[in-house]
Chain A
Amino acid sequence: MQSIALVVGTLFGSLINLNHPGNYIHWGFIQMSYSNLLVIILMVIVFFAAILIPFKTHKNKGADR
């Protein structure tokens, strides 16, 4: 039973363990974890990607309508 739990735990356990003390940035009175900063940077990238990636054009489809 324990070996089954070990196999299941290994298969479905997280590959990267983040349950250890985090690192924080201090900018004056601002404190932020590196992981939060990474998520914010990713959100900014997605925001600009959403603006800059062109829409699918409908020229051919819509031309007859």
Chain B
Amino acid sequence: MSADKAKTHKLARPFKQDRDIADWHGRYTPYDLAKEGLIALVVVVLLVTGLAVLFGSPDDTPVTVKSWSTANAVDFAATAIAELDGTSGTATYGAPYNTNGTAMSIGPISPQKWLGVHHPINTANDYVLGPLSTVANQPEVQAAVAEYKAASVDQQAAWTAAYEKAVADATFVNGKLVVPAGAYGPVGVIISSLTSMARSGALDGALLSSRQFYGTDYTKPLLFVADGTFLEGLAVNQHLAGDQWGMMNETGSYPGQAWLWLYTLWYQVPAIGNSDNADIQVFAIMIGLTTLLALVPFIPGLRSIPRWTRVYRLIWRNHYREVEGQGGGTSTSGSPPQVMGEVREPVTVSG
């Protein structure tokens, strides 16, 4: 089809009131958008400043490895042994940290798998053995680490299994982790020393794998803390867990992100919330709904909803009252006067 024919075809197509815009033949009046924008800016600045003075902002104490191990040393020790034997949440997560887990997917679509391991974490080395190797002047700790590393995989597994069983009955007395006796070889010294290191704050520093002058990568300590039950307990107390609509909540009594209600709603659906692929399923649903919203002007039926609901007649009620009072008609489309993005506002419609 030639360009002229295409143009003719376009001009000749029938007018559809929810798709096409009728030419405006009425009068216009000036409208100062810059002035309105400035007024809106001043009002918002005053509101934000006033609300900030009145209510402040959320100020929860950050959870660190030190604060966690100080508050609940037994939970820390139980998590540390899981990091050492590779059974923790991080150790079995898969990409982007390791290859030990199954990537989320919807059919053949799996961005987690496609992006691969780009932030490698070996929990035994990065969380336990590595930090302990930096401890100076404690030969018994270095000897325990060396003994563990030199042992066979089966021997290591036997030690960690025995310790995992024993740590369930552990207590923390007089600043020391007390674990029932068992055949866990050097693992007792390793976990006990790591607990002391964590409570001193030294482990927080050792886990900040910073290549820059200022460390900003908190991935390792954050994942370590998240592997325990302490952080989860704090989150549940503050209604921040996934099954508590936590995405739209905030710490304390502050209002949260109410606009995320639709994202967190899907996690309340058991078939999605209990799925191993929940995140990518919610991601796909929201991408689909967002695309639908963006394409509303092109979807027959959906694009007619504003005309059917007639909310525009409520907004422009003076205009329609005036026009209908004069016995005149509205524009061909029956739509409200078009002012968005214009600097002139129509004041009447030719009959």
Q: Is the C-beta of A17 less than 8 angstroms from some C-beta in chain B?
A: yes
Contact B56 A14 (CB under 8 A): yes
Cβ of B258 and Cβ of A13 under 8 Å apart? Answer: no
B239 CB-CB contact with A under 8 Å = yes
Query: Could you say which interface size class chain B belongs to?
Result: 35 or more
**Chain A residues within an 8 Å CB radius of B109:** none
Given contacts A15-B54, A21-B237, contact A30 B245 (CB under 8 A): yes
CB <8 Å contact, B53 and A33: no
Whether B268 contacts A36 by the Cβ 8 Å rule is no
Whole-angstrom distance between the Cβ of A11 and the nearest chain B Cβ: 9
B249 touches A36 (CB 8 A): yes
Q: Which of B244, B253, B268, B311 touches A21 (beta carbons < 8 Å)? A: B253
Asked if B2 is at the interface (CB within 8 A of a chain A CB), the reply is no
- A32: min CB distance to chain B, Å: 7
Would you call B56 and A13 a contact (CB within 8 A)?
yes
- B29 partner, pick from A12, A31, A65, beta carbons under 8 A: A65
Dominant SS among interface residues on chain B = loop
Residues B258 and A40 in contact, CB atoms below 8 Å apart: yes
Assuming the A-B contacts A33-B239, A58-B345, are A14 and B27 also in contact, with contact meaning beta carbons closer than 8 angstroms in the complex? no
A34, B52: Cα distance in complex, Å = 19
- A24→B255 contact, CB < 8 A: no
A5 shortest CB reach to chain B, Å? 16
Q: Which residues of B are found within 8 Å of A54, using beta-carbon distances?
A: 318
Task: Determine if B30 and A61 form an interchain contact, defined as CB atoms under 8 angstroms apart.
Answer: yes
Chain A residue, CB-CB nearest to B268: A29
Within 21-45 of A, Cβ neighbours of B (below 8 Å) are at 21-24, 29-36, 38-40, 43
| CB of B285 closer than 8 Å to a CB of A | no
Q: Which of B27, B255, B268 contacts A65 (CB 8 A)?
A: B27
Interface residues of B in 236-255 (CB under 8 A from A): 237-239, 244-245, 248-255
- Hey, which chain A residues are within 8 Å of B254, CB to CB? 18, 22, 35
Q: Is the CB of A33 within 8 A of B255?
A: yes
A19 at interface, CB cutoff 8 A = yes
B120 at the interface (CB under 8 A from A): no
Query: Which single residue of chain A is at the shortest CB-CB distance from B52?
Result: A14
B55 within 8 A of A: yes
Is the beta-carbon distance between B55 and A16 smaller than 8 angstroms?
A: yes
Q: What is the distance, in angstroms, from B291's C-beta to the closest C-beta of chain A?
A: 25
* A40 to B, closest residue via Cβ: B258
9 A-B pairs within 8 Å (CB atoms) are namely A13-B56, A14-B53, A16-B55, A18-B55, A30-B245, A36-B248, A36-B249, A54-B318, A62-B345
The 6 closest A-B pairs by CB, nearest first: A14-B56, A62-B29, A35-B255, A22-B253, A58-B29, A18-B253
Interface residues of B (CB under 8 A from A): 27-31, 52-60, 237-239, 244-245, 248-256, 258, 268, 311, 314-315, 318, 345, 347
Known A23-B253, A38-B255, A43-B258; 10 more pairs at CB < 8 Å: A14-B56, A15-B55, A16-B55, A18-B55, A22-B238, A31-B245, A32-B245, A33-B249, A33-B250, A63-B347
